[in-house]
Amino acid sequence: MTSEIPIIHTRIVYEVLDAIRVKHQFWLTERSIRALNNFLNGYINCTGVGSLDVGHPPYSEFDLWFTMNAKHALGGKYDYCTPLLKECDGDEERAFERFFEYLDEYRKTG
């Protein structure tokens, strides 16, 4: 059985992140927070920051929520690598999973 890479015609970042969470290998070079962060930076550059306001709560406010609720300072705008790797003792895959745990918490606020 072969898997097909789904084509997502969307500018809704949550739909893209949901797809990555299910089948990361279709989107990322590895299951790591760095690969996810690199993908998100490219996605944001391609679609524009305005695409982050689509959805509820707006993804554009996730970094502020993350800083306040996770008690971490970001490495830079939309840079979750540094604080999550520190929290997860350098474990890239665990930091990847932790990102989605925080995202789930944030999405419940909407």
In a domain, residue 74? The reply is yes
Domain range for 27 is 13-107
pLDDT at 97: 96
Q: Spell 54-70 as b/e; 16+ CB within 10 A means b.
A: bbeeebbebbeebeeeb
Q: Which residues of the chain have pLDDT under 50?
A: 1
Query: In the chain, how many domains are there?
Result: 1
Q: Which single residue is written with the structure tokens 């290998």?
A: 25
What is the four-CA torsion angle of 98, 20, 30, 49, rounded to 10 degrees? -80
pTM to 2 decimal places: 0.82
In a domain, residue 2? The reply is no
Closest CA to 70 of 28, 105, 46, 44: 105
Task: Report how far residue 46's alpha carbon sits from residue 32's, in angstroms, rounded to the nearest whole number.
Answer: 21
In a domain, residue 37? The reply is yes
